[in-house]
Structure 1
């Protein structure tokens, strides 16, 4: 008996993705990816419940990927820090390396999944970033995003949640063939009408299988999913963090932004964008409070 909250896989997809049952009350069961940002429907006879042992095995594999991605990001962070400190004429030498402070940008992360939001907020905090997290259903994002931006005053906005492409509803070019892409697109367009400068308001938008081209055309700096593949729950965090820890003097190499994400270049892409980190001197306790 399949009930809400159960962990399941789909027989028709060779049990490739672990889902949690969101609603089992009709002819089709509504499913949400447990670790990836995919929403799907399936008939109940296509589902297989996942045992505790299998769940632990899958979770261990996912945790390993997340830990590896985190380590790679920390390595990148150290390289960025070394680059700032060794730049010609920068003044950030060994003699005064503790005498400067950083002001990373504020991040507004809007998520269509409250559990993924909690996981992302934890990761932002581990990375030392200022973030305001907000749960909204994807269809609410276009209406509410500008009000949240006015309240939070972020430099980076992340719009994510769940999505999926349905071949039965149209070709990959047809925006209406996607579950939530049109809401992400509309929200991005609303932001760009108010904040047109790509290097002052950096936007990440999309989830699993989202209509990448429409999101970029609407004004996103980074988006999913170029190859219409699934993306991991925390991938948007790594994109935002790379922007946040790159100096505003430097442009980001797109490959360097996405190479350490779990999904890689099939799941994520974007356009050339300037970093948003600013350095100040001299260091003081008061300056620390700004960071």
Structure 2
């Protein structure tokens, strides 16, 4: 018996993705479950008869594989971050010839997420990486109404607009924005954000989720977006993208591939345009000492 919040797989897809049941509806006399991916930012629906509850052993086996990929991506990101920090230290000290004390101001992130559990996972990773982030849980359909006030209040350097999405071929061709679950709302949110901050370098935007309409998001004003090949993206992919931006100096331009290579999805799931970093270095650094 399938119930709300149960972890399930779709038999017709060989249970390739684990989902959480978020709602059960009745359509034409048949019960349909609304499904949110546990590790991928995908929303789907399926008849209850097509769902197979996942027991603890199945979930552990699949989650172990996903966690391994997450750990690999985090380790690669840390290596990149160490390299960036060493380069900045070299420049700030004039090739280690000067004993300057300096400080760094990474960019501030505003992260809007349509999934509360994904938001919490992302916030934990942001904290581990060491960036300042303001996390807001907001339904995808409501984001474009709220983004203006949120930008005025938090004044971020980087904006993440994400949640769940999906393309349905029964609703139209891949170029048809109406064939996507939430892409049109992401697009509208990006447009509203660009009304507030026009410059692509003053506000860096990542937008999209699984299978999102990449081209529309970029044309609306996003610097990075999903999904060029309409594939699923991992829940944490937006974090790796914007954290890289936060730790890249504002005088340097970011090579798109350098940003994508540490994500779990890669260039099939995420793309973008040439963008400046937002990190700023200052000096002197004088620790406050109580006398």
The TM-score with structure 1 as length reference comes to 0.95
1:12 deviates by 1.3
Q: Which position in structure 2 is the counterpart of 1:40?
A: 44
Matching of residues 129-168 of structure 1 within 5 Å: 129-168=131-170
Matched, 1:66 2:73: no
Deviations 1:195-245 (CA, angstroms, capped at 9, x unpaired): 110000000000000000000000000000000000000100010100000
Matched, 1:244 2:246: yes
Matching of residues 137-286 of structure 1 within 5 Å: 137-285=139-287
CA contact (8 A) 1:216 1:270 kept: yes
Q: Which position in structure 2 is the counterpart of 1:77?
A: 81
Q: How far apart in 2 are the matches of 1:72 and 1:259?
A: 9
Higher mean displacement: 75-84 or 151-160: 75-84
Q: How far apart in 1 are the matches of 2:265 and 2:132?
A: 24
Q: Which ranges of structure 1 fall in alignment gaps of 5 or more residues?
A: 287-291
> Which residue, 24, 49, 52 being the options, matches 2:56?
52
1:187 deviates by 0.4
Q: Which position in structure 1 is the counterpart of 2:19?
A: 19
Q: How far apart in 2 are the matches of 1:199 and 1:110?
A: 19
Q: Which position in structure 2 is the counterpart of 1:101?
A: 103
What SS does the corresponding residue of 2:170 show, helix, strand or coil?
A: helix
Q: How far apart in 2 are the matches of 1:96 and 1:29?
A: 62
Q: How far apart in 1 are the matches of 2:156 and 2:94?
A: 29
Q: How far apart in 1 are the matches of 2:218 and 2:89?
A: 34
Q: How far apart in 1 are the matches of 2:51 and 2:206?
A: 33
Higher mean displacement: 170-179 or 76-85: 76-85
Q: Which position in structure 2 is the counterpart of 1:123?
A: 125
| Structure 1 segments of 4+ aligned residues over 6 angstroms from their partners | none
What SS does the corresponding residue of 1:96 show, helix, strand or coil?
A: coil
CA contact (8 A) 1:204 1:236 kept: yes
Q: How far apart in 1 are the matches of 2:52 and 2:97?
A: 59
CA contact (8 A) 1:161 1:206 kept: yes
Q: How far apart in 2 are the matches of 1:110 and 1:220?
A: 14
CA contact (8 A) 2:12 2:50 kept: yes
Q: How far apart in 1 are the matches of 2:160 and 2:287?
A: 30
Q: How far apart in 2 are the matches of 1:261 and 1:95?
A: 36
Q: How many residues align?
A: 284
Matched, 1:9 2:13: no
Q: Which ranges of structure 2 fall in alignment gaps of 5 or more residues?
A: none
The TM-score with structure 2 as length reference comes to 0.95
What SS does the corresponding residue of 1:24 show, helix, strand or coil?
A: strand
Q: How far apart in 2 are the matches of 1:18 and 1:39?
A: 11
Q: Which position in structure 2 is the counterpart of 1:30?
A: 34
Q: How far apart in 1 are the matches of 2:190 and 2:204?
A: 10
Deviations 1:105-154 (CA, angstroms, capped at 9, x unpaired): 11000000000000101111111100000000000000001101111110
CA-based RMSD of the aligned residues comes to 1.3
